A and B are shown apart, each in its own frame.
Chain A
Amino acid sequence: MIDTFFPPDLSPAYLRALLVPVAQTIGMASAGMLVAFALGVPLAVLIGTRAPGHRFIIGALSSLRAIPDLTLAILAVVVVGLGPAAGIVALALFYTAMIGRVYGDLFLAADGAPLEALRATGAPRAAIAAFGLIPLTQSDLLTFGTYAFECAMRASIVVGAVGGGGIGTELVGALNALDYHRSLTLILVLVVLVAAVDTFGILARRTPRLVLLLLPLGIVSLWLNPPVLFAFGHAIHTFAGMFPPQLRPAQIVSLPLLIAQTLAIAIGGTLLGALLAFPVSLAAARRLAPLGVVLAIRRALDVVRAIPELVFGLMLVVTVGIGPLAGALALGIHSAGVLGKLYAESFENVPRAPVDALAATGARALPIVAFGFVPLALGPLVVHTLFRLEWNVRAATVVGLIGAGGIGQALFQAQQLFFYKQMLAYVLVTWALVALADWLGERLRLRLGWHFVAG
């Protein structure tokens, strides 16, 4: 069935027509990140300098982060109206929470002695940030910032799918029109775009000044798509109309089933991802496979990671039909891309001596993996998988959109039918579910001795 997508439509006319949506997608990501940095960094400084109320800020950002980007986008479309402005609002909110939280953590973990010296001079918070916190954590800030931008580019396609504009909107349109050749073109454009951001990230880590390029991009995009003050009254009215959140008794009865479906998609997807990722990661680890094989597999994993779960979901619905299976498969394939890379890196990082000792007994390759690499890397392997499960609970609500079932589907249907009170109720349930998963995951990871793993 997958061959229905081939060949992609690469006609010059269509590619020319794609310039606007591509620009919109890049614009949404840049503008969203610009706002996210503008709001997130000062919040992170307040957290990092332990300002009064910093615990409240941490709590608020964590709560905001627990609302999946797509759910925020649905809310934004309802309040702000269709188009890139809604996408920008959703991305700005989601990434403000992410930047604020993670940068705050990095600032809190920064070396205390130089900061103590700065504080002793009576410097204000902004000066402590400029002369202490930011230079001390610069490389981590850049690494995470470019990673967040990469995520924002993917997310900007996802929020497009609910009417936020850009490639996402085009892709949903093409799939709904059963135009699979153009769908494939759009997916290829997406892969190229994410690869470009990835390359940009590598360059920016070498030449941090490149990050300033985002400034004009973001400003132009904000200028062209101002988040909609023309309908401010309408936005307030619509938002007020969501209160109080409400569900009918029959819907309340079916809630446990929806939650179970969402969790099943998340767990199934994570398991599938881990099962696929394990053998692949062995071939992607420099200490286990020849360099040529490693590079080829890594490239393939990059492509799989570049395609968001939602896009896999949209493609799979065509082949396996709607339902939780499509959702779990979509999460599984994307997770395999992420976990394959992380597992491979874990294998590359195991200590040499025990593995050399096993090789010195004349053991074959697979027994060395089973007796050495796997037990030695077990901690990181488990933590990466748990982190992915945590993420997949969020993603499982997102793939609900394409008819995978669960809370996400109920939420999207309520929005499509303008039942905003119901929609808000489902948003709250989603939020609670994701927040609970995050909290449990964080406790479990702390217990295992790993606080933060990017992935």
Chain B
Amino acid sequence: MLEVRGVRVAYGPHAPPALDGVSLDVAAGECVALVGPSGSGKTTLLRSINGTVPLAAGSVRVDGVEVAGLRGRELRRLRARLAMIAQQHDLVDRLTVAQNVMAGALGRWSTLHALRFLVLPSAAELAEARAALASVGIAEKLRARTSELSGGQQQRVAIARALVQHPVAILADEPIASVDPALGEQIVALLCDLAHERRIALLCSLHQPELARRYFDRVAELVGGRVRSDRRTERASLVRRGYAG
């Protein structure tokens, strides 16, 4: 689903490359954790996949579509099906939870549709938001103000927004960096379950190698802008042998 081939990214003509010949595949329904020290290029890799960072060399394909060179409407069309989840603080706290969740549909809605939804949401739209919230376990928060939610709940809202995009892939950039460890594990488990169940390709950067080994199918380690290792986890071999699902 995600095919990264020989990607090179540099933030300036004389700067050392942030990514240097990175290749990585993520299949539909596969969960890949991206680990490595700060500054190793994890965020740059995720951003180059959704077309925010231009490539100096190499290619990125999402569902068979080459990302490099996409602009305007075509880039929007790609991003509509490629969900991003950031650390935190990327919700609009003055909007309601339902409005934040349905912001995931903005990529496929016309401008008029989007404005109409803010003033007069239809029953079907609210039902869709509720369903997305139910799959992250907080359906009851539909009408709450986003600013009233806890950090963990806000991260669940961000995941629900990603689900509303009906994504082929989810790119998560340290989604648990600002929540406590127990909550972090719950969120990682939720993300991986959803990806497996809905056959979404998940590429998630993490600072916790043990969580990565426990929940993900593969762990890729980035160091200095290169892939140092890319291994199947124990979980993956257990699944192959039928012990885990």
Contacts and interface: CB of A to CB of B under 8 A. Distances in A.
Nearest to A364: B111
Nearest to B106: A363
Given A358-B106, A360-B50, A363-B114, A371 B92 contact: yes
Nearest to B75: A362
A120 to B, nearest CB: 42
Interface in A345-376: 351, 353-354, 356-364, 366-368, 370-372, 375-376
Interface residue SS majority, chain B? mixed
Contacts of B89: 351, 353-354
Contacts of A364: 76, 106, 111, 114
B79 interface: yes
The 4 closest A-B pairs by CB, nearest first: A362-B107, A363-B106, A362-B79, A362-B80
Interface string B69-107: 000000111111111101001111111000100011111
A357 B100 CA distance: 11
Given A358-B106, A361-B80, A371-B99, A366 B111 contact: yes
Interface string B110-121: 010011001000
Nearest to A373: B92
Interface of A: 351, 353-354, 356-364, 366-368, 370-372, 375-376, 378
A349 to B, nearest CB: 15
Query: Most chain-A Cβ atoms within 10 A of its Cβ — which of B77, B91, B114, B161?
Result: B114
Given A360-B84, A361-B80, A366 B92 contact: no
B80 to A, nearest CB: 4
A444 to B, nearest CB: 18
Interface residues of B, number: 35
B106 A361 contact: yes
B94 A376 contact: yes
Nearest to B99: A371
A372 B115 CA distance: 12
A371 B103 contact: yes
Given A353-B89, A361-B106, A375-B95, 16 more contacts: A353-B86, A354-B89, A354-B90, A357-B90, A357-B158, A360-B52, A361-B161, A362-B76, A362-B80, A362-B81, A363-B114, A364-B114, A366-B111, A367-B106, A370-B118, A371-B99
B155 interface: no
B95 A358 contact: no
10 contacts: A353-B90, A354-B91, A356-B90, A357-B90, A357-B158, A357-B161, A358-B106, A361-B165, A362-B108, A371-B92
Contacts of B11: none
A361 B104 contact: yes
Contacts of B165: 361
Contact of A378 (B80, B94, B158): B94
A417 B103 CA distance: 63
Contacts of B104: 361
Contacts of B75: 362
B175 to A, nearest CB: 12
Interface string B52-74: 10000000000000000000000
Contact of B92 (A359, A362, A372): A372
Contacts of A357: 84, 86, 90-91, 103, 158, 161
Contacts of A371: 92, 95, 99, 103, 106, 114, 118
A356 to B, nearest CB: 7
A344 to B, nearest CB: 19
Nearest to A363: B106
Name which of A356, A357, A364, A371 has the most chain B CB atoms within 10 A of its CB.
Answer: A357
B166 to A, nearest CB: 11
Contacts of B94: 375-376, 378
B227 to A, nearest CB: 24
A363 B118 CA distance: 14
B146 to A, nearest CB: 10
A361 B90 contact: no
Contacts of B161: 357, 361
A141 B43 CA distance: 43
Contacts of B91: 354, 357
Nearest to A362: B107
A239 B2 CA distance: 84
Contacts of A353: 86, 89-90
Nearest to B80: A362
Contacts of B84: 357, 360-361
A361 B92 contact: no
A70 to B, nearest CB: 39
Contacts of B52: 360
B114 A361 contact: no
A362 B77 contact: yes
Nearest to B164: A361
Contacts of A356: 86, 90
Nearest to B100: A371
B41 to A, nearest CB: 19
Contacts of B108: 362
A371 B102 CA distance: 10
A360 B80 CA distance: 8
A364 B79 CA distance: 11
A361 B103 contact: yes
Contacts of A362: 75-81, 106-108
Contacts of A361: 79-80, 83-84, 103-107, 161, 165
